[in-house]
Amino acid sequence: MNTSFIIRPMSLNDFSELTEVIDTSFLWLARSLALHSVREGQQVLISEAQGTAVGFVKLTNVQVGSGKFGRVLWVAVHPKFRRRGIATALVKAGFESMTHAGATAVFATVRRRNVASLTVFGSQGFRKIGFLELWRLFGMRIFEFYKKIWLAPWIPVLVCD
C-alpha cells in the first residue's frame, strides 16, 4: 500500500498522536524518556499521513569543544505505517536539518539487534564508528562526547558526515 506523507515540524497538537507512536514503538524505560524529550517539542520533525502524525524524529545539538554536531535521538513510526519509507525520510530530513544548522557530522545510536533501524540509517549514509575513530575525532574530549550523547557502552555509534 502506497502512503503519501509529509514531513514537518511538530506542533503541540501532534503530541497525543505521537504518544501512540511512542507507546507502540518503545519498551517502558525508553518510552518514558522518548515521551519526555518529545514533549519539549524542540527539534522534532513528524511525518503526517492521512491527516495524522504517524512518525517522528527527535534531534539534538551536541557541542564538543569547538565542534558542532547533531544527534538523532529518537526515530519511530507507528506499526501500521512501517515499511513505507517514512523512517528513511525522517532520518534524511533530520540529517539535512542538522547539517543546514551547521553540524559537521550527525550521530545516532542503535541497538545491535535493531536490524530495521540499522538498515534505515545505513541507507542514508550512516556507518558504524568505533572507539579509535572517535578518539581521532575528539581526542581527550571523547568522554565529553560520550556523556553528551548518553551512550551506553554496548550500543554502537553511527555517524554520517
Residue ranges of the domains in the chain? Answer: 5-160
| Residues in the chain, overall count | 161
Which CATH superfamily groups domain 5-160?
A: Gcn5-related N-acetyltransferase (GNAT) (3.40.630.30)
Record the pTM.
Answer: 0.91
Tell me what pLDDT residue 153 has.
62
Tell me what pLDDT residue 139 has.
92
DSSP 45-88: EEEEETTEEEEEEEEEEEEETTEEEEEEEEEEE-GGG-SSSHHH
Tell me what pLDDT residue 112 has.
86
Tell me what pLDDT residue 155 has.
77
pLDDT by position in tens, the chain (length 161): 556 999 999 998 899 899 999 999 998 888 998 998 888 768 999 999 989 999 999 999 999 989 999 999 999 999 999 999 999 999 999 999 999 999 999 999 888 888 999 999 999 999 999 889 999 999 999 988 888 887 666 678 889 98
Q: Which of 26, 98, 9 is nearest to 59 (CA)?
A: 98
